[in-house]
């Protein structure tokens, strides 16, 4: 077991009817003025934004609002938010939405607390933050885990296609997270499934960075994965099942608040996420669907480096019967995971995702994925630009059903 | 799934060689003066206390020391610590030890921040704290989970025997916990086993407060229990196995930081702990051993109220083969747990604990356990004074081996 730090100071307020506590929670932070940050129409149409604002008003907390956060949240809106916050004297960011809104709020919070930095330099790995303004959230999508995590992902639009980049620091863990599962009832089925996929991936990225004799973390990871698998399938047919929504929402936080990575080597594998980030930047695909489309190709490319671990995943998470041959079990587990994705109506390759990449696009994706040759990615296998391109090429083909 | 709050702001610094970070961690708290609180000879003899003090000195943090905390930490020393802290202007409590030392530090911290209260009134459920001075810890025993939990237990000596009482509040969660598994290498085997038992019980008390469709918490609880069972058995023969020590230490925190109780009804069952607290008060037994001596009798007394849950425990934690009859499985699981206790050299009844209670003592234990008729205990079955006395009577007999 490796040494680790674990610091998750977010106060979680979980359950139906908890939204109206938001005014009191913000007031306890002792801030002067709040930016209520949100996405598009649904926060308004559902009445949630009105509830949040009414709660702030009755707690005597002044606020301004800024909507318009899109999936793959854009740097331009972060700059706009920063300007608004400076003009209005905002010192607390309240995100009302899913991972994109929370990530956008975290980026604004970094910008506010580090006025000498261009906030993009954090995401482009060219600078480190020394502080972060406080963030709170009212979660409406179970997926990214940003409500208790230390990470955020921002997309910069460029003439050559967009760049999607992540930055992590304990400084940006939210002060509180209101998590009411009923707020996710009205999500489109596709988005629910994307969220479930993202949640599983956050645990799997860590699980495959295998550390020997790390039973507590292993068992927690396996337990969370099994719970997500079971409840994601319930939601396919019964999207307003409260307990299933609640299990998925809580699993979303625990899968990305670092718990499932305690004691492992480094921070995890993360190659699948990094492969997806370039895809999301170039084609603006839904994050969870992009992960689903890439994982199988990544897994088949690397599993011979850790057949026992992939076999354990097959048996204990995917409930594939053991054959006694780890490599056979490993491949059966990958296929079983892809079957699960299909049951959730998720893609397992790029054509199913609605993307067919040209060879030149694949080379651009691979080049960008190395941050212009500044890094390799992955842990199970360390992947260079040529490996990365090979994985994109595998994902770019519809697999022959005879061989899967 | 029930609504819940989850707030564990303790920064965990986990792994070998982390002790020397303590000075820096305390300095970051911005306090004026520290009380270094510890137990007996071992903290001194091992050189740990010197290392801690040297680290504080090199970080420029002034401190005073107070040792002498015993297992089942005494109220008298809490008062002594309070007086010392007030005289010396102490505003940060640094506990160097196990649960007893941390609990004693928490009690002093409550006293410092609530000068108008007698701190015992908190533990005797006659008052509530509104604040708590900050506490940090260097953990030397994996057991109580106090290093990240919201609870502490204090014993008041009285002419009629001692009273052992718990108080819980998020206010007393430590600011940081340094957890170096090598510090537990030198524990006596008995104390290691007591710790492992206590850790399992913290999860089991919550697990048996059964909540339907609560897969995430259920799976985490089962995963932690399996990890503790496996690694506790490793330590019987190999007490300096680093990974096993590390798994047990991390499981100790996760078992009592509220994670294994998210979404359950109320806070858990806790009858076994409350039965043990009276035993500990009257006979000053080791807490983990007292729990081990009481659990089987409690479980047999209540399991017909939740046979399916006890059967699940039997199958998924104790790995008892399913017979198709929940009640048979439930009883087999209880017996299997008692066998595990014996493998750890723990008692499973009062005579094995070295205690034989008179009928009058049993009646006193039962009376005290109801806080002089101010409460009933338990959730699986709600237990009144007569039930409590019956369970003590069951535990007071060595079971006939033909019937177990």
Closest chain A residue to B255 measured between Cα atoms? A216
Q: How far from chain centre, in Å, is Cα A24? A: 28
Q: Which residues, listed in sequence order, are joined to residue B14 by a DSSP beta bridge?
A: A4, B179
Closest chain A residue to B317 measured between Cα atoms? A219
pLDDT classification of B401: cutoffs 50, 70, 90: low
Summarised one tens digit per residue, pLDDT across range B178-217 is: 999 999 999 999 999 999 999 999 999 999 999 999 999 9
Calpha distance A197→A353 (Å, rounded): 14
Q: Would you give the DSSP letter of residue B266?
A: T
Calpha distance A331→A35 (Å, rounded): 48
Calpha distance B57→B141 (Å, rounded): 25
Q: How far is CA B350 from CA B285, B292, B393, in A?
A: 10, 9, 9
Please give, one letter per residue, the 3-state secondary structure of A353-401: HCCCCCHHHHHHHHHHHCCCCCCCECCCCCECHHHHHHHHHHHCCCCCH
A15/B247 Cβ within 8 A: no
B216/A250 Cβ within 8 A: yes
Which of B1, B213, B223 lies nearest to residue A219, judging by beta carbons? Answer: B223
pLDDT at B193: 98
Please tell me whether residue A163 adopts helix, strand or coil conformation.
strand
Summarised one tens digit per residue, pLDDT across range B83-108 is: 999 999 999 999 999 999 999 999 99
Calpha distance B249→B140 (Å, rounded): 9
Which residues contact residue B119 at a Cβ distance below 8 angstroms, ignoring those fewer than 6 apart?
B75, B78, B79, B82, B107, B108, B110, B111
Summarised one tens digit per residue, pLDDT across range B287-316 is: 999 999 999 999 999 999 999 999 999 999
Measured at the alpha carbon of residue B286, what is the angle toward residues B281 and B292, in degrees to the nearest 5? 105
- Closest-CA distance, B326 to chain A, in angstroms, reads 23
- Closest-CA distance, A230 to chain B, in angstroms, reads 9
Calpha distance A295→A315 (Å, rounded): 18
Q: How far from chain centre, in Å, is Cα A241? A: 23
Please tell me whether residue B221 adopts helix, strand or coil conformation.
helix
Which of A14, A213, A247 lies nearest to residue B243, judging by beta carbons? Answer: A213
pLDDT at A398: 77
For chain A, which residues score pLDDT lower than 70?
Answer: 399-404
A8/B14 Cβ within 8 A: no
Residues of chain B with pLDDT > 70, as a percent, come to 99
pLDDT at A128: 96
B3/A254 Cβ within 8 A: no
Name every chain B residue with its beta carbon within 8 A of the beta carbon of A4: 12, 14-15
Residues of chain B with pLDDT > 90, as a percent, come to 92
pLDDT at B264: 95
Q: Would you give the DSSP letter of residue B104?
A: H
Calpha distance B121→B108 (Å, rounded): 13
A222/B1 Cβ within 8 A: no
Calpha distance A340→A348 (Å, rounded): 10
Q: How many CA atoms does the CB half-sphere of A115 hold within 13 Å? A: 3
pLDDT at A116: 94
Summarised one tens digit per residue, pLDDT across range B341-399 is: 999 999 999 999 999 999 999 999 999 999 888 899 999 999 999 999 999 999 999 76
Which residues contact residue B336 at a Cβ distance below 8 angstroms, ignoring those fewer than 6 apart?
B314, B318, B319, B320
| Residue among B132, B118, B43, B116 at smallest CA distance from B75 | B118
Q: Average pLDDT, stretch B246-273?
A: 96
pLDDT at B403 over 60: no
pLDDT at B404 over 80: no
Which residues contact residue B218 at a Cβ distance below 8 angstroms, ignoring those fewer than 6 apart?
A223, A227, B207
Which of A1, A12, A246 lies nearest to residue B1, judging by beta carbons? Answer: A246
Residue B20 CB neighbour total at 10 angstroms? 14
Calpha distance B1→B8 (Å, rounded): 20
pLDDT at B295: 98
B215/A220 Cβ within 8 A: no
Please tell me whether residue A165 adopts helix, strand or coil conformation.
strand
Which of A15, A222, A263 lies nearest to residue B223, judging by beta carbons? Answer: A222
pLDDT classification of B402: cutoffs 50, 70, 90: low
pLDDT at B400: 64
- Closest-CA distance, A74 to chain B, in angstroms, reads 31
Residue A325 CB neighbour total at 10 angstroms? 12
């Amino acid at each position: 077991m490796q040494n680790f730090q674990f610091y998750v100071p977010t106060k979680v307020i979980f359950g139906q009817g908890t939204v109206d506590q938001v005014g009191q929670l913000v007031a306890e932070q002792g801030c002067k003025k709040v930016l209520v940050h949100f996405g598009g129409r649904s926060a308004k149409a559902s009445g949630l934004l009105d509830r949040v604002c009414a709660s702030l008003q009755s707690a005597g907390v002044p606020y301004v609002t800024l909507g318009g956060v899109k999936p793959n949240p854009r740097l331009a809106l972060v700059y706009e938010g920063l300007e608004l916050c400076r003009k209005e004297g905002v010192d607390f960011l309240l995100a009302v939405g899913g991972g994109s809104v929370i990530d956008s709020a975290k980026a604004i919070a970094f910008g506010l607390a580090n006025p000498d930095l261009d906030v993009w330099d954090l995401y482009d790995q060219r600078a480190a933050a020394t502080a972060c303004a406080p963030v709170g959230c009212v979660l409406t999508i179970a997926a990214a885990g940003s409500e208790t995590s230390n990470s955020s992902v921002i997309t910069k639009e460029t003439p050559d296609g967009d760049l999607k980049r992540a930055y992590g620091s304990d400084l940006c863990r939210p002060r509180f997270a209101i998590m009411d599962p009923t707020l996710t009832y009205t999500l489109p089925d596709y988005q629910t499934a994307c969220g479930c996929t993202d949640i599983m991936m956050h645990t799997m990225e860590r699980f495959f960075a295998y550390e020997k004799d790390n039973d507590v973390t292993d068992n927690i990871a396996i337990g969370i994965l099994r719970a997500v698998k079971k409840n994601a399938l319930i939601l396919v047919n019964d999207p307003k099942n409260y307990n299933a929504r609640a299990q998925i929402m809580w699993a979303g936080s625990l899968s990305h608040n670092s718990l499932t990575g305690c004691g492992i080597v480094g921070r995890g594998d993360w190659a699948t996420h990094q492969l997806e980030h370039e895809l999301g930047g170039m084609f603006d695909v839904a994050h969870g669907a992009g992960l689903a489309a890439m994982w199988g190709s990544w897994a088949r490319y690397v599993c011979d480096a850790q057949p026992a671990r992939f076999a354990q995943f097959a048996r204990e998470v995917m409930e594939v019967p053991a054959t006694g041959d780890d490599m056979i079990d490993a491949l059966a587990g990958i296929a079983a995971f892809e079957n699960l994705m299909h049951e959730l109506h998720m893609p397992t390759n790029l054509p199913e995702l609605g993307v067919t990449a040209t060879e030149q696009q694949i080379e651009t994706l691979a080049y960008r994925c190395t941050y212009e040759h500044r890094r390799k990615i992955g842990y199970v296998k360390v992947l260079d630009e040529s490996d990365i391109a090979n994985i994109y090429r595998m994902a770019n083909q519809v697999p022959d059903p005879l061989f899967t």
